[in-house]
Structure 1
Amino acid sequence: MIKLFISDLDGTLLGMDHYIKDKDIQAIKKMSKKDIGFVVASGRMDLDIAEVLKKIEVNGHRVSQNGAFVQDFKEKKIYSAAFDTEPAKRIMDFIEKEPMVKTVSTKDHIYTSEHNEWVEIISKQLFQDVIIEPKLTSQFGKKITPAKITLHGKEDDVILAHSRLKKHFGAELDIFISHESCVDIMPKQINKGNGIQSLLQELQIKPEEAACIGDSFNDLPMFAVTPHSYAMSSAHPDVQSKAAYVVDHVYEAIEDLIVKELI
């Protein structure tokens, strides 16, 4: 039987302008009333996840920034990780000439070095404003402890940047296309799969007692954790191929588990 249901946000549970389908909300609430735990696992910051849980009006565990931070619904910190200062500076030096916006996320804030139209677009999709810090890299190890570095831009630029980063840093970093408009750069072994594994261990839940749903390449480590994995039909075919099932909506995944008498 399923004891834990895990959902990605952007492109899965969360649409543009913070929109969440009412059918998804009602399915999650119905599931929660059956004492099945709910988890949001996202590349977003913990604050964003907390705001989404408020909108849904359910308690939930939080796996933020692709697994860099894990907290249960009682605010107990289960796991946290961040870049060491020097590797983070090397990454920033390497991506300096990429024709894309660079942001740096800490546990609670997101920074960039200068304001432009992309920053406004990014801010609209967050639950807080991007902070402009002109001396961004020099603040690493001081007031800024990077947990995630992200490149934002056009899809073609995203694909090329991902390829260059994988070639140069693939052995020492985890690098994901988390959305068609962004590449996430993480310390090695920091991913949704390992974040969820730490949560399952804390809750004493077996992988086969969890189900998950997502739509991007950063969800693949999560799919590998449990046999009950669902990909959105809007996901890239390579993402769909790694999931056990494909659905159009979050509520359809929950309904499928009910039909299978796993909920």
Structure 2
Amino acid sequence: MIKLIASDMDGTLLDSKMSISKDNASAIREAERLGVEFMVATGRAYTEAKPALEEAGIECAMITLNGAKVFDKEGNSLFTAGIEKTIATEILDILETHNIYFEVSTNKGIYSEKQEKRIENFASHIATTMPHLTYKVAIAMASAHLALLDITYIEDMRALIKQEDIEVLKIIGFSMDGPKVLAPASTHIRQLADLAITSSAQNNIEINHKNAQKGIAVAHVAKNRGISKEEVMTIGDNFNDVSMLQWAEVSFAMGNAELEVKDHAKYVTSTNLENGVGEAILRAIREDL
């Protein structure tokens, strides 16, 4: 029987309003009632992931920043895997060479040098995932959503990275031109040591330490709980979910997942707009997967 469920958030647990639907929340509570632990495994930072969970009344452990930082249910840090500072600076150099906007997630929060670019890129993501919206509406939604998130705008990212009390946990690059621009930059970055490069959307690349992967983090949590991989279920939709879909004995790809991602999952559920997470959880319970 399943004892631990780890679900991605964007494109998976969250709907078009970046919220957790009542059906998904109900299925999570049913799993918890039966003694199954639920947790999220997201590319988001803790402060970005927490609001949607709180709104749905869900308290759970959290794998954040693709596995760079893991928290227990009470918000205590359990595991950290950061990027070495000289490597982080080289990554920024490469992203700037390719004219890619970037944000840096640290132990002190998320930092950006360009507020306008952040809104533009998030709006592009919304417009891509919800093509029925006009770009003007997407910009308005992006501005409203980002206003709720903690981010600090600074002038010099490299000076920040040099500070002794700063740990670089994840660097994310965005381009509205998608893979045409991001793929060459990714190839360049892969030449650096000890990195894992994934993506959670067509318009981004996410760069972590090689030990900061969702699969590694889920395995770490399961081991601490005394839970075997046969008793773990994972749910995701994009390339930063592949490592945990491959590791768990029971894995679900969303109906809206990338085709290559579906190849790494044992099962496919409905889309994130059709309560696919809740459907997968209830199926796992019903069929004792």
Confirm or deny a common fold (TM above 0.5).
yes
Alignment of 1:241 with 2:263, yes or no, is yes
Letter in 1 for 2:47: L
Highest RCO, 1 vs 2 (Cα 8 Å, sep ≥ 6): 2
8 A contact 2:91–2:189 mirrored in 1? no
Percent sequence identity over matched residues?
Answer: 28
Q: Which amino acid is the alignment partner of residue 218 of structure 1?
A: N
* More displaced stretch, 108-117 vs 128-137: 108-117
Range with greater deviation from structure 2 (66-75 or 157-166): 157-166
Other-structure match for 2:128 = none
Residues 214-233 of structure 1: CA distance to partner in whole angstroms, max 9, x if unpaired?
Answer: 00000000111112000011
Deviations 1:159-191 (A, max 9, x none): 542343235425621101211221101112211
Indicate how the Cα distance of structure 1 residues 255 and 170 shifts in structure 2: closer, same or farther if over 3 A, else same: farther
CA distance in 1, matches of 2:246, 2:105: 26
Residue 114 of structure 1: how far off its partner (Å): 2.2
Partner Cα distance (1:159, 1:150) in 2: 16
**Aligned mates of 2:203, 2:15 — CA distance in 1:** 15
Deviation for aligned residue 1:235? 0.9
Specify whether residues 124 and 86 from structure 1 end up closer, same or farther in structure 2 by C-alpha distance, changes over 3 A only.
Answer: farther
Give the equivalent residue in structure 1 for 2:71: 71
Q: CA deviation at 1:138?
A: 1.7
Q: Distance in 2 between matches of 1:170 and 1:241?
A: 27
Amino acid at match of 2:41: A
Amino acid at match of 2:67: G
- Supply the distance in 2 between the matched residues of 1:14 and 1:21 (Cα, whole angstroms): 7
Q: Out of 169, 172, 175, which is 1:147 matched to? A: 169
Shift of 1:18: 2.4
SS at match of 1:178: coil
Mind listing any 5+ residue stretches in structure 2 that lack a counterpart? 123-142, 271-275
Residues 190 and 119 of structure 1: CA distance in aligned 2, closer, same or farther (over 3 Å): same
User: Cα distance 1:162–1:108, how it changes in 2: closer, same or farther (>3 A)?
Assistant: farther
Match in the other structure for 1:252:
279
| Equivalent residue runs for 1:190-205 within 5 Å | 190-205=212-227
5+ unaligned residues in a row in structure 1: which ranges?
A: none
Q: Residue in 1 aligned with 2:253?
A: 231
Change beyond 3 A, Cα 1:145–1:16: farther
Cα offset, 1:50, TM superposition: 2.6
Counterpart position of 1:54: 54
**Could you say which residue in structure 2 is the equivalent of 1:132?**
153
- Whole-angstrom CA distance in 2 between matches of 1:149 and 1:130: 14
Aligned: 1:162 with 2:159: no
State how far apart, in whole Å, the 2-side matches of 1:130 and 1:120 are: 15
Q: 1:170 to 1:176 in 2, by over 3 A?
A: farther
1:78 touches 1:202 (CA, 8 Å); kept in 2? no
Aligned-residue CA RMSD (Å): 2.0
Looking at structure 2, the residues matched to 94 and 250 of structure 1 have their Cα atoms a distance apart, in angstroms, of 37
Bigger drift between 233-242 and 168-177 goes to: 168-177
Asked if structure 2 preserves the Cα contact closer than 8 Å seen for 1:207 and 1:225, the reply is yes
State how far apart, in whole Å, the 1-side matches of 2:154 and 2:204 are. 20
Does residue 132 of structure 2 align to residue 110 of structure 1? no
How many residues are treated as equivalent by the alignment?
A: 261
TM-score, normalised to structure 1, is 0.91
Match of 1:5 in 2: 5
Post-superposition offset of 1:115: 2.6
